[in-house]
Structure formats: C-alpha cells, structure tokens
Homo-oligomer: A and B are copies of this chain.
Amino acid sequence: MSYYYSMKMKKYIQDFEVLRNERLSKDYYLLKLWCEEELPVIMPAQFAELKINDSPSTFLRRPISIHDVNYEKNTITLLIRIAGDGTAKLSEIRQGMILNMIYPLGNSFSLPLKDKVLLVGGGCGVAPMLYTARYFMQFGFDPTLLLGYRDKESVLRRGKFEKYGNVFYTTEDGSFGEKGNVLNHSLFSPEVFNFTKIYACGPEAMLKNLGKWAIEHGVDCEVSLENLMACGVGACLCCVQNTNEGHKCVCTEGPVFNVKDLIW
C-alpha cells in the first residue's frame, strides 16, 4: 500500500502530568499533558493508548487521537468526548494527576502532494484535525477545514482551529454554519469543489458517505478510522478493518486508510 504505511516510529510508554483539564461543552473535555522527557516526533492522525486509572469497569487502555503538540513545552493536548466509563474517568482527571500513555501509535495522514486540501471532521472526529492542519501548514499548505457538529453549542475550539486554516461549519440544526451534515455543505457543490484531496475523521456513516462521494468524483480521500482496540500495537488483531488486501490492523496499518482500499 502507500508509502506512509511503512513508517516505523519508535513507541514509548510514558507518564504525563496533567497540566489542565478544561470542560469545553457538555460532553467534551480538553486535557493538556506534560512530559518530563522530550517528545518524539508525532505525525497527524497518530494516537495514544491511555491507561485509565481508578476505573473498576475499565480494564483496557483507551485510544485517543493526538489533538495538538507543543514540542517546546513538551505538552500534548487531547480532546475527549465522554462515550462511556473510560472517557468519563478521563474527564474527571485533575491537574497534577499522572496519565500513562503509549504513543505515538498508528500511521498518519500522508503529506499532500499539492495544494488545495480539505480536512473534514465530524463530532469527536475533529480531534486529530487540529494537529493535522497545523502540520500541513508547517509544510507550506493552506488547508481548508470543514467541521460538522450537532448544533452551535457543540462547536469546539473555534479560535484555535481558525488559526490553522480557513474553517467552514455545518450543524445538524443549522444553528451555526450551514445546515445539515458535512456532505450537504456548499463546498461539495460541483461549482465550488476545487480540492485535490480530502482528509477526514468522524462517525463511520459520515466517512462512508464521504468516501463514496470521493470515489464517485475521483477525488483522493484518506480517512482515519476508530475501531475497537485491545492492544494498540498490532499484537492482538482485534481492531481489523476489511480492505482490498484483507484484514488490516487499524492500530498499526491504520488508523488512516485511503478510501479506495477499504471494503466497507
């Protein structure tokens, strides 16, 4: 498969100190973590496996995307949506507590070959898109972001996202940006659409529709998937995604796949 799968980056098990836990909205929290040691290079769409402390009902680690990185300050930021007990515990974590992570995991979005690229995030899927936009920008690209939310109250980190690209919004109820889901946005109307590549993360249904659209319109499209994981390092074979080449591990051969390769 494509070149970006072959990258072998060293993985670390490290303790991070929680610098800040900020509630962004009803279900979303922003965790800022600091590590004593220098951070390794992290690629866009890579993730970490977090150990959940003090949770009687959470036995395995939980995969969470890298939302942002600050190499000068040795900090990593995570965007957490409460989905169940494990993420609920993460939302309760307080400053000064220690969080153990295995990272950086997975492959990454490939660097665009030419401008203009569209980054699409839906709901919790906006998480990896901030660092992706920032990363692409460093390489001279000027990404456009399209972020889909339920409603105005759910919109996350506007100021931050808007620093790294031109940002458009959809909300299901139309209370912010255009009404509908991301594919309903006018960016996708034939007269307007002028991107060479789409990068996306979000709910499976959104990614499938987007992938179908991209293939039909001959647009290159990479998606970051969120399968259930046990190990995160390619050992258990639990996280597989069916592809043209058979079952692939989302944790090591993903989370990023080109939609052309997926059998959905």
Interface, chain A (partner B; CB < 8 A): 54-56, 58-59
Contact = CB atoms under 8 A, between A and B. Distances in A.
Copy total for this chain: 2
Contacts of A54: 54-56
Contacts of A59: 56
Contacts of A55: 54, 56
A103 B54 CA distance: 25
A54 B59 CA distance: 12
A94 to B, nearest CB: 10
A58 B55 CA distance: 11
A58 B56 CA distance: 8
Nearest to A54: B54
7 contacts: A54-B54, A54-B55, A54-B56, A55-B56, A56-B56, A56-B58, A56-B59
Pick from A54, A55, A58, A59 the residue with the most CB of B within 10 Å. A54
A91 B172 CA distance: 48
A54 to B, nearest CB: 4
Contacts of A58: 56
A55 B56 CA distance: 6
A59 B59 CA distance: 14
A54 B92 CA distance: 12
A56 B59 CA distance: 8
